[in-house]
């Protein structure tokens, strides 16, 4: 599993349904009054912060999020149904950035221009539900679908007894919401108003790269794209001078945009260690994560997340472990992958110091440990008091075996227990995981959760 802490998605709210032009036909009345109902409002797209989610992985495979449009108004004063709100769940701590206007099918997303092809999000793009304008025409008493459009009758709201036959036509000129109506001949097709400047609220304007919001609290909601407004039907346009208004409003377009979502690595346990000590090997041994493993330093260049399940029959015990790029001396000043690395560790709750015998002679494990601690301290105060667990890896090797005793003795002086493990054979890893789990429980209790 490759951990994704950045993903780009397109959100598009539903368009407002068009208002209808229709006439009432009552018994003994040749031409009744206007009876065209209103179009429904388009659905909003809402981002919801969800504590159940740990990664943005789901969104990686679902890039397009379109709320359904409102239905057009019908005859007999029937109003079109509104489009439902579309909720997009994101993990806690997700930062939402604006990446440009929504693009149509096959169009190049605006953010692609300055990205290398490698960074292009992959995944299946899901085609929108209810996109575009649905329209129902009623011709000579029979309901037919408008050309090229799927239709669904609007919900009945008027008294059906009084209405014998409905004729649904299109307005001569579709007026944008808020405009006054003037003359014109009836035409068959509606023109969609963009309505951009006539939303209920002023359209928000962002520059590319702007931070729109940080979603930090569980259940926090952000209406990121507002649905278009439904147009009013011709029932609204009857006046003393015009008893047969043949106009209605078009629905306005829903908002749409590209977003970049970023999540700082939210891992329970962060593995800290010099390059090549076996961090990636360990995470692939205890989880289903499959990071690259190499007999050379800096194999891992992007953080890897592994979800570790511990055995237990009463309740589920899962923790997220992060394998992050190797820490080097000077990381706190940004050397190596320094800041990047430390930024990812910031939100972890327990640190696992991984030590291993080094092929370089004369390197001392405890000096490594102190150096790592020093880098953490210099980066900032956030690691102070965070529980640590120290493990010695590669005990399946002779060098590893030889180091266990001396390291354990030295650590005992500091009151730190040592967990000797082999990420390759699995020896000692169960005990280590249990120890990490206990520290997490303590950390939770300390925070009162
Ligand atoms: N014998 C032995 N070799 C191990 C063990 N764990 C890891 N190794 C080897 O050590 C080398 C480095 O392992 P990685 O897991 O890539 O180390 P890393 O800490 O992720 O390294 P970077 O990503 O470069 O920071 C690889 O050749 C592994 O096969 C172990 O328990 N025993
Ligand atoms: Mg690695």
**Which pLDDT tens digit goes with each residue over 209-244?**
889 999 989 999 999 999 999 999 988 888 888 877
Q: Does 281 sit in the ligand 1 pocket, CB within 6 Å?
A: yes
Assigned token pair, 251 = 């629905």
CATH topology of domain 1-263: Spo0b-associated Gtp-binding Protein; Chain: A, (2.70.210)
Average pLDDT per block of 10 residues along the chain, 449 residues long? 65 94 75 85 96 74 91 89 95 90 83 52 25 26 34 37 39 45 33 42 76 92 95 87 84 94 78 87 81 61 71 70 68 60 76 84 78 83 86 93 89 90 95 93 71
The H or E element containing residue 285 is: helix 279-286
Is ligand 1 within 6 A of the CB of residue 27? no
Distance CA(199)–CA(44), nearest Å, equals 13
Sequence-distant (6+) residues with CB within 8 A of 399 are: 357
DSSP 412: H
Nearest residue (by CA) to ligand 1, atom 8, is 278
The answer to whether 270 and 324 are in contact (CB under 8 A) is: yes
Other Cβ atoms closer than 10 A to 63: 18
* Mutation to probe ligand 1, out of 270, 271, 280 (largest number of atoms < 8 A from CB): 280
**C-beta 353 within 6 A of ligand 1:** no
Pocket test residue of 275, 277, 280, 281 for ligand 1, highest count of atoms within 8 A of CB: 281
Closest listed ligand to the CA of 284? 1
pLDDT of the residue at 38 = 93
Q: Are 420 and 413 in contact (CB under 8 A)?
A: no
- Is any atom of ligand 1 closer than 6 Å to the C-beta of 284? no
What does the DSSP assignment read for 196-259? GGGSSSPPP---TT-EEEEE-STT-EEEEEPPPPPPPPGGGG--SS-SS----BPPPPPPEEEE
Burial 8-33 (b: 16+ CB within 10 A, else e): bbbbbbbbbbbbbbbbbbeeeeeebe
User: Which positions ≥6 away from 442 have C-beta within 8 Å?
Assistant: 387
Atom of ligand 1 nearest to the CA of 421: 31
Within 8 A by CB and 6+ apart from 32, the residues are 23, 24, 25, 26, 163
CA of 299 to the centre of ligand 2 (A): 5
Q: Give residue for tokens 């977003």.
A: 259
| 3-state SS assignment for residue 181 | coil
The answer to whether 393 is annotated as binding is: yes
| Architecture of the domain defined by 269-447 | 3-Layer(aba) Sandwich (3.40)
Is any ligand 1 atom within 6 A of the Cβ of residue 401? Answer: no
**Of the ligands numbered here, which is closest to the C-alpha atom of 281?**
1
Q: Whose CA is closest to atom 30 on ligand 1?
A: 394
The Cα–Cα gap between 145 and 137 comes to 6
CA of 327 to the centre of ligand 1 (A): 14
Strand, coil or helix: what is 353?
A: strand
Domains in the chain: boundaries: 1-263, 269-447
426 CB near ligand 1 (under 6 Å): no
Whether 276 lines ligand 1, by a CB cut-off of 6 Å, is yes
Determine how many CB atoms are found less than 10 A away from the CB of residue 89.
14
pLDDT in tens, 102-126: 988 778 877 776 554 434 333 212 2
Calpha distance 259→100 (Å, rounded): 7
Question: From the CA of 51, how far away is ligand 1's center (Å)?
Answer: 33
Q: Which residues of 137-155 are buried (b: 16+ CB within 10 A; e: fewer)?
A: bbeeeeeeebeeeebeebe
Distance CA(446)–CA(449), nearest Å, equals 8
How far is residue 65's CA from residue 263's CA, in Å, rounded to a whole number? Answer: 19
404 is in an annotated binding site: no
What is the Å distance from ligand 2's center to 425 Cα? 17
- pLDDT at site 134: 24
R_g (Cα) of the chain, nearest Å? 31
């Amino acid at each position: 599993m490759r951990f994704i802490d950045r993903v780009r998605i397109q959100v598009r709210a539903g368009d407002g349904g068009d208002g209808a032009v229709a006439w009432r036909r009552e018994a003994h009345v040749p031409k009744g009054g206007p009876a065209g109902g209103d179009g429904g409002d388009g659905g909003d797209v809402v981002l919801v912060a969800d504590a159940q989610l740990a990664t943005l992985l789901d969104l990686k495979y679902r890039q397009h999020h379109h709320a359904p449009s409102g239905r057009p108004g019908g005859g007999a004063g029937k109003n079109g149904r509104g489009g439902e709100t579309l909720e997009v769940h994101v993990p806690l701590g997700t930062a939402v950035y604006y990446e440009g206007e929504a693009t149509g099918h096959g169009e190049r997303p605006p953010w692609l221009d300055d990205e290398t092809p490698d960074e292009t999000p992959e995944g299946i793009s899901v085609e929108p539900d209810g996109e575009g304008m649905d329209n129902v025409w009623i011709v000579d008493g029979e309901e037919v679908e408008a050309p090229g459009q799927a239709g669904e009758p609007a919900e009945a709201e008027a008294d059906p007894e009084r209405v014998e036959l409905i004729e649904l036509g299109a307005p001569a000129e579709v007026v944008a919401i808020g405009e006054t109506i003037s003359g014109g001949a009836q035409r068959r097709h509606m023109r969609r108003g963009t309505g951009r400047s006539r939303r209920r609220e002023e359209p928000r304007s962002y520059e590319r790269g702007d931070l729109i919001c940080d979603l930090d609290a569980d259940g926090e909601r952000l209406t990121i794209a507002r649905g278009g407004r439904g147009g009013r039907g011709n029932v609204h346009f009857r006046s003393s001078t015009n008893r047969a208004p043949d106009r209605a409003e078009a629905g306005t377009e829903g908002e749409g945009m590209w977003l970049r979502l970023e999540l700082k690595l939210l891992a329970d346990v962060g593995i800290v260690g010099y390059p090549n000590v076996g961090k990636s090997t360990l995470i692939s041994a205890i989880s289903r994560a499959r990071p690259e493993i190499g007999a050379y330093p800096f194999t891992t260049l992007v953080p890897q997340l592994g979800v570790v399940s511990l055995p237990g029959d009463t309740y589920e015990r899962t923790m997220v472990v992060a394998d992050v790029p190797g820490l080097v001396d000077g990381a706190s000043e940004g050397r190596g992958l320094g800041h990047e690395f430390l930024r990812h560790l910031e939100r972890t709750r327990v640190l696992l110091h991984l030590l291993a015998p080094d092929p370089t002679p004369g390197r001392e494990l405890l000096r490594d440990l102190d150096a790592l601690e020093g880098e953490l301290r210099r980066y900032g105060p956030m690691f102070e008091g965070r529980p640590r667990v120290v493990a010695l890896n590669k005990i399946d090797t002779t060098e590893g075996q030889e180091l266990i005793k001396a390291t354990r003795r030295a650590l005992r002086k500091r009151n730190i227990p040592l967990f000797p493990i082999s990420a390759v054979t699995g020896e000692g890893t169960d005990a280590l995981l249990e120890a990490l789990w206990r520290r997490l429980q303590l950390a939770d209790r300390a925070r009162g959760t």
